[in-house]
Copies of this chain bind each other. A is one copy, B any other.
């Protein structure tokens, strides 16, 4: 099979996909588009909903990062072993994704005064609310979000946390030792460690 990942020259929503590909030792072309220099004039209509990441699998253009991650998770063996277990992973993905949406709504707001209001709301309410919930879940799971073992939701979180930190303009995990443990567990995996060492250095 042939795999080609099309994304910006950044971690953000592409990095969880790269982590899963690294974990599964799947060879792929890591095609990067420069957000400032190339994206404004790129032919976005060539992508299903004009967005990236796109993973091309034997020519099939896959969009939607979470669906791509779920697909890869099956291929690399990081899913549950029955429908209840898969639900437990999926729901944590959706909880984390709800959290992420709040960052995106603020970060991509083009009106500076609205953005300021959204930023305050995010820091005063949304971040404390979610971090408390997620930290407790990670603690109960002994450093895992689901099934008390490594699944693709841990890998997703470890892959996307730099992007959340970048949008928040701070290290979200400073007072969350169990969430930090989720990330550390993933980054300690031999194949992901190797990827992180060799990947292009980018700010987000």
A residues bordering B, Cβ < 8 Å? 48-49, 57, 60, 62-64, 66-68, 70-71, 74-75, 83-84, 86-87, 90-91, 93-95, 98, 101, 105, 111, 114, 117, 133
A40 CA to B86 CA, complexed, in Å: 33
Task: Tell me the minimal C-beta distance from A130 to chain B in angstroms.
Answer: 8
When all copies of this chain in the complex are counted, the total is: 2
User: How far is it, in angstroms, between the C-alpha of A74 and the C-alpha of B90 when the chains are bound?
Assistant: 13
- Docked-complex contact B101 and A87, CB < 8 angstroms: no
Residues in B with CB closer than 8 Å to A105 are: 105
A67-B90, A75-B83 as given contacts; A49 in contact with B114, CB under 8 Å: no
A-B contact pairs, 23 of them (CB 8 A): A48-B95, A48-B133, A57-B84, A60-B84, A62-B91, A63-B91, A63-B95, A64-B94, A67-B87, A67-B90, A67-B94, A68-B87, A70-B87, A70-B90, A71-B83, A71-B84, A71-B86, A71-B90, A74-B83, A75-B83, A105-B105, A114-B114, A114-B117
- Among B57, B64, B74, B95, the residue within 8 A (CB) of A91 is B64
